[in-house]
Amino acid sequence: MVMKSAGWQLTYKQARQWLKSHSLDPEDMDEPELPDAVGKMLTGIGIPNTTVDPIPVDYPRRGDVAIIILCRISKEDMRSTVPYYTKIREEDADREVKKRILEHSGFKDEDLPWVTAVDPFQASGWRRQETGDA
């Protein structure tokens, strides 16, 4: 059994670019602060973290490339393991949300590919701490 998360791949460079385009100063932010800043920006444009939750991961496997997944779905998969898993498919509802993101980000569709990350919180070495603020 493994946890899988799927959403759009956003590099840290893209996150900084997007934050700058919304008059924020990401240069003063450390990498761990960027996913939360992106989440607040998404909420500001009407996309709450219950719809898209930015999570930091190493993708596609441990130690590869650090990215932020604009996560649409996370679920446990009883049949998958870290090395052997099925990808989560992007659905029409996901594409509708992506259209809204593209409108506000200035990115093109191909700039944000859909990805599935296996064991996303363990893989990044970062354990998300829940806070009272949504």
pLDDT in tens, 49-99: 899 999 998 776 555 668 899 999 999 988 888 888 889 999 999 999 999
Tell whether 131 is covered by a domain: no
pLDDT the model gives residue 63 = 55
Q: Is the pLDDT of residue 2 over 50?
A: yes
What contacts 24+ positions apart, CB below 8 Å, involve 47-51? 47/97, 47/100, 47/101, 48/134, 49/134, 50/134, 51/97
> For 11-37, how does the pLDDT look when each residue is reduced to its tens digit (9 = 90+)?
999 999 999 988 888 888 888 889 999
pLDDT the model gives residue 105 = 92
Tell whether 132 is covered by a domain: no
Tell whether 128 is covered by a domain: no
Tell whether 10 is covered by a domain: yes
Q: Is the pLDDT of residue 125 over 70?
A: no
Tell whether 87 is covered by a domain: yes
Domains held by the chain: number:
1
pLDDT the model gives residue 58 = 76
pLDDT the model gives residue 26 = 80
CA-nearest of 111, 60, 52 to 83 is 60
Q: Categorize the per-residue pLDDT at 132 as very low, low, confident or very high, splitting at 50, 70 and 90.
A: very low
Model pTM score: 0.83
CA-nearest of 51, 65, 37, 41 to 97 is 51
The range of the structural domain enclosing residue 90 comes to 2-123
